[in-house]
Amino acid sequence: MSTQVEIGLNAVIIAVTDKEPRLLTVNWDRQFSLEAYDQLRPPPSTLNAIPFGPLDPSADRTLELALRGWVKKQTGLELDYVEQLYTFGDRNRDPRERYGGKRSISVAYLALVQENETFDIAQARWRNIYDFFPWEDWRTGAPEIIQAVIAPALEAWVEQGVSQKVRRQRRERIDMTFGLGDAGWDNYRVLDRYELLYEIEVAFEAQWDRACQQKTLPPPHQHNHFGCPMILDHRRILAAALGRIRGKLKYRPLVFDLLPSLFTLSQLQHVVEALAGLPLHKQNFRRFVEKAGLVESTGQMDTQTGGRPAALFRFRRDVLTEHQSPGVGLPVTIPQKNT
């Protein structure tokens, strides 16, 4: 007998506000529930989700139009530009499949917006991305959570290896993934880090999925040291999106989608730092941005900085045709290594 398949759509909607990278989240929607599965999962109000919904093959003309419709319905937000992120289709990515539900394949999209919307839909709200990945924010140095919480959990996993070869392979993996030992921190490996925490079952989603597999009650939900959980594999989708953004910072001017039409160079730097999770060298960053022709002066000044007035700039769109990779660069100021 052939397995039924449901095509889902997910929207990772990101903004940067007050130096904080923000994700637009919604509450769990009960319309997709199955009775047997509902007995195992946590209450909907305890978990965050990114906007999502199924594709209606007979009514939805395109995937993107369907996605925009779900986002509008769930958040009140009308999206402008979106790009396809990735397709997620692992078996049992939605645990309801184990209880007779359909195989779930989800097409995820990424949208960058400015957080200037007032939502009248109660279920939609903005959350700090680093609530979900507290180990990813290096703007003030290596996060304490890595050495205090994550490293011991990883060390225990290494020691559980059945042979010296396995333990050596695990050691190399954790060093490269989390920048332990002599390895440096690679801020692009967001998904690798989440996948590792899921694999060693310290991520709440892994504990939840195991409980569903064994048809037992999941552990009590709580916001623990390993980040705020999300429904299904939505945190995995978010990790893929953050890694994609960080990679694109070097070769695409996507950061300007998060800024007003006129901005100061400090505002530009804060947005880049928020997404990269790294501090930038102020003079080097400004020198690079101006030399690359990414911005142009407006001759105007921002007098609402709380200090000396700052020059206002705008994105110089001609750079899109002048350079193949017009990114902002990442001249960091800290050693990218755990101590």
Of 70, 73, 50, 51, nearest to 60 by C-alpha is 70
Q: How far apart are CA 149 and CA 121, in angstroms?
A: 37
- Residue 146 is predicted with a pLDDT of 94
The confidence score (pLDDT) of residue 276 equals 95
Contact 190/249 with Cβ under 8 angstroms? no
Reported as a single tens digit per residue, the pLDDT across 172-188 is: 999 999 999 888 899 99
Task: Give residue 247's pLDDT.
Answer: 93
Domain limits, the chain: 5-130+230-241, 144-178, 250-322
Q: Which residues have C-beta within 8 Å of that of residue 312, sequence separation ≥ 6?
A: 262, 263, 264, 297, 298, 300, 301, 302
Angle at 62 between CA 61 and CA 66, to 5 degrees: 95
pLDDT per position as a tens digit, 292-322: 899 999 999 887 766 788 899 999 999 888 8
Beta-carbon contacts of 220 under 8 Å, excluding residues fewer than 6 positions away, are none
Contact status, residue 327 vs residue 253, Cβ threshold 8 Å: yes
Nearest C-alpha neighbor of 261 from the set 295, 286, 292? 295
Name the residue with tokens 């200090």.
Answer: 307
Provide block-wise average pLDDT over 10 residues at a time, the chain (339 residues). 80 95 82 47 64 90 94 90 92 78 91 75 85 96 93 96 96 95 90 96 86 67 73 94 94 92 94 95 90 91 78 92 79 62
pLDDT for the residue 234 = 94
Tell me which of 3.30.300.30, 3.40.50.2300, 1.10.10.10, 1.10.1840.10 is the CATH number of domain 250-322.
Answer: 1.10.10.10
pLDDT for 214 equals 74
SS3 per residue for the chain: CCCCEEEEEEEEEEEEECCEEEEEEEECCHHHCCHHHHCCCCCHHHCEECCEEECCCCCCCCHHHHHHHHHHHHHCCCCCCCEEEEEECCCCCCHHHHHCCCEEEEEEEEEECCCCCCCCCCCCEEEEHHHHCHHHCCECECCHHHHHHHHHHHHHHHHCCCCHHHHHHHHHHHHHHHCCCCCCCCCCCHHHHHHHHHHCCCCHHHHHHHHHHHCCCCCCCCCECCECCECCCHHHHHHHHHHHHHHHCCCCCHHHHHCCCCECHHHHHHHHHHHHCCCECHHHHHHHHHHCCCEEEEEEEECCCCCCCEEEEEECCCHHHHCCCCCCCCCECCCCCCC
Q: Tell me how far apart the alpha carbons of residues 307 and 302 are, in angstroms, rounded to a whole number.
A: 10
**Sequence-ordered list of residues with C-beta below 8 angstroms from that of 95, at least 6 positions apart, any chain:** 37, 40, 41, 208, 209, 212, 213, 232
In the chain, the N- to C-terminal Cα span, in Å, equals 55
This prediction's pTM: 0.90
Sole residue written with tokens 């193949």: 324
* Side-chain half-sphere exposure of 139, counting CA atoms within 13 A: 15
**Domain topology for 5-130+230-241:** Nucleoside Triphosphate Pyrophosphohydrolase (3.90.79)
Give the separation between CA 136 and CA 143, rounded to whole angstroms: 8
**What's residue 27's pLDDT?**
79
Q: Residue 318 has which token pair?
A: 């001609």
